[in-house]
Amino acid sequence: MYFKLEQMTMDMGDTPVENIFLNDYMPQADGNFVKIYLLGYKFAKESGGLKSFDFNVIADLLGLIESDLLRAWDYWEKVGVIKKEYQEDGSFNIIFLSLKQLYIENIYAAKNTENKEVDRNEILDDKKIANLLSIADYYMRGRLSIAQKQDIASWRDTYNMPTEIIEEAFWYSTERMKKDSIQYVEAVVRNWSERNIRTREDIERSYIEHDKNYYRFMKVKDAIGISNKAFNHTDFDTVNYWFDELNFSMDLVMAACKRCININNPNLGYVDKILKSWHEKGIEKLEDIEDKDRKTRNYRKTKFHNFKQQTDDLTEEDLEELAKKKRDAFFKKLR
């Protein structure tokens, strides 16, 4: 006699996924990257991991191409949740790292390196930290507790992150992504730290890769000189309308922005009028702008020179008589 479980003909099993992945890594990742990670993770869980699996099979299952998978694994390796194990033939295996273990080693341990409680006044003595907490409180709509502020103040050392970049993380999380969660903001900071993003230039490169619309918006604001202006969704949509609907290139948009240099109040509305005018005139490249300006100048010059004055057909005697009449009228008025 023996006991035996019947094997199911359909896959009705479960694949447990760590909440750290769902909370901290998934929200910021490309949707296809998430699907690739989860399907690969499922295969890794089956029978202790597959020894060999063709990337093309996963690509076919998800309706993607192999290059999508390669980009996805590059991304997940960069953020630190997998590592590639290369073989002699140049191929590689995917090792899914334990996120709980990573948290314990890199985050929990770092937070507990100091056993003393942080004094609130000591935190506020640092002007950069005090400014960061003020900005964080603004973006979180004044709902931060003292404990949360102390936690935020620790991020600079925990993640080796400049305060101005943490401020950017608050802006991006609350205004762009509409996430008013401290945990979400910390996940953004942690993600940037793991990807060695610590300057505004690093952030810009990241936006180019992962958030094209936001990159365009920030590029335009910097060009106009209003980068410190609060985020406005109407402005955001206006800027991306120039690219997506009017099909302008970044070069043309930057050329329009340069025309704000000599006005008292640089603003997006001014640039919007310029670009809509260019669109109506069929301007599609920088050379078209120069062409149009030259034709406009020539038209005005020609119009000026072709202007016919009333005195053009008068003789010298007629002009003298006209001048005499004006003088007489002037003296009569004086008397």
Residue partners of 69: CB distance under 8 A and separation at least 6: 36, 55, 58, 59
* Rounded mean pLDDT, 98-127: 59
* Rounded mean pLDDT, 136-161: 86
Torsion over CA: 81, 87, 89, 90 (sign)? positive
Q: Is the pLDDT of residue 76 over 80?
A: yes
Q: What is the DSSP letter of 232?
A: -
**Boundaries of every domain in the chain:** 19-100, 112-210, 213-301
Helix axes 163-171, 200-210, angle to 10 degrees: 30
Q: What is the pTM of this model?
A: 0.40
* Rounded mean pLDDT, 200-211: 77
Q: Return the pLDDT at 290.
A: 78
pLDDT digits (tens, 9 = 90+) for 256-308: 999 887 788 888 999 999 999 999 988 988 888 877 666 555 555 555 455 45
pLDDT band at 116 (very low <50, low <70, confident <90, very high): very low
* Rounded mean pLDDT, 177-198: 88
Q: If we measure between CA atoms, which residue out of 33, 90, 29 comes closest to residue 64?
A: 33
pLDDT band at 35 (very low <50, low <70, confident <90, very high): very high
Q: Return the pLDDT at 304.
A: 46
So what CATH class is 19-100? Answer: mainly alpha
Let me know the angle formed at the C-alpha of 59 by 53 and 61, rounded to the nearest 5 degrees: 90
Q: Which residue has the tokens 């004086």?
A: 334
d(CA 268, CA 48): 57
Q: Is the pLDDT of residue 19 over 80?
A: yes
pLDDT band at 8 (very low <50, low <70, confident <90, very high): low
> For residue 93, what is the enclosing H or E element?
strand 92-96
Give Cα 131 to chain centroid, integer Å. 23
Is 235 within 8 Å of 199 (Cβ atoms)? no
Q: How much of the chain, in percent, has pLDDT values that exceed 90?
A: 16
114 SS3 class: coil
Give Cα 217 to chain centroid, integer Å. 7
Least reliable range by pLDDT among 66-70, 181-185, 226-230, 248-252: 226-230
Q: How much of the chain, in percent, has pLDDT values that exceed 70?
A: 71
pLDDT band at 319 (very low <50, low <70, confident <90, very high): low
- Of 121 and 229, the structure prediction assigns the larger pLDDT to 229
Q: What is the mean pLDDT of the chain?
A: 78
Q: Is the pLDDT of residue 172 over 50?
A: yes
